[in-house]
Amino acid sequence: MDPIRSTKNARVREIKALQSKSRLRRGKRLIVLEGDRLIEDALRQGGRASYALYAPEAAEYHLIAALQNAGCQPLPASQAVLRHASETQQPPGILAVFHLPKPAIPEPVEYALILDGIREPGNLGAILRSAAAAAVDIAILAPGNADPYNAKALRGGMGAHFRLPLVEAPWKEIRSFCQGLAVYAASAEASVEYTAVDWRVPWALIVGNEAHGISAAAQKLAGARIAIPLARATESLNVAAAAAVILFEARRQRHAAN
């Protein structure tokens, strides 16, 4: 098969549009993954790919074979086409269109992470990556977050989207998720240190916008605020770093108890 060389090709145009248009991603329930590692990981987690564009001179042919075996159509394309379709400064040799992941929500939910106004997609993705690694049951996105299926969020998540159930919900529904859970909100102004919390019992953790803190709705839901003590008059941690610190303390306590 001859490589695709035109940026006006229908598949190329669709990938380019999916990269930039949230409404289209949600309407078609499709996302674009870039690079061998992310695509391989998605396949291992049961992700379903529709088609892929790859550079023949840079292809990992075991991955091309894996995509074909999974029912995906790999299409060779020129490097110029891949540069046009990619959202990265140094495009990888492959881009694949996957169906929107939908991991099953466990019953019951015992450990929930609530994201409140995380506007930077890279931070959002990094938080999801930490949450998946720390064995959180579910990530709940309140209104006002960045799109979790944005290209930067997908790269930052490094496969978390295929491991961790994501729910986008209004605060009324979020309250129902939190029934029976101790709800904590991370806040730099809190007097209770995160290590003083008993993370062995079912909980929900709210992390919010770095600049504005948690919203009024989050404050109303939280039973307590917790903080990470900082040295040398440091104002705050990056929200993704703060979330990781707290989530892994929670995991440490659960492991110690077991």
Longest dimension (CA), the chain: 64
Report the pLDDT value the prediction gives residue 46, as an integer from 0 to 100: 94
Strand partners for 183 = 204
Is residue 68's pLDDT more than 70?
yes
Say if CB 51 and CB 96 are below 8 A apart. yes
* Sign of the alpha-carbon dihedral angle for 178, 165, 241, 255: positive
Give mean pLDDT, residues 179-198.
Answer: 93
User: For residue 20, what are the contacts with CB-CB under 8 A and spacing of at least 6?
Assistant: none
Report the pLDDT value the prediction gives residue 89, as an integer from 0 to 100: 84
Query: Sorting pLDDT into bands at 50, 70 and 90, what band is 188?
Result: confident
Query: What are the pLDDT digits (tens) for 206-250?
Result: 999 877 789 999 999 999 999 998 877 666 789 999 999 999 999
Average pLDDT of the residues of the chain: 94
Report the pLDDT value the prediction gives residue 233, as an integer from 0 to 100: 65
User: For residue 51, what are the contacts with CB-CB under 8 A and spacing of at least 6?
Assistant: 11, 72, 73, 74, 75, 96, 97
Domains of the chain: 10-99 (3.30.1330.30), 111-257 (3.40.1280.10)
* Sign of the alpha-carbon dihedral angle for 33, 35, 41, 47: positive
Please report, as a single letter, which amino acid is at residue 1.
M
Query: What are the pLDDT digits (tens) for 81-101?
Result: 999 999 988 888 999 999 999
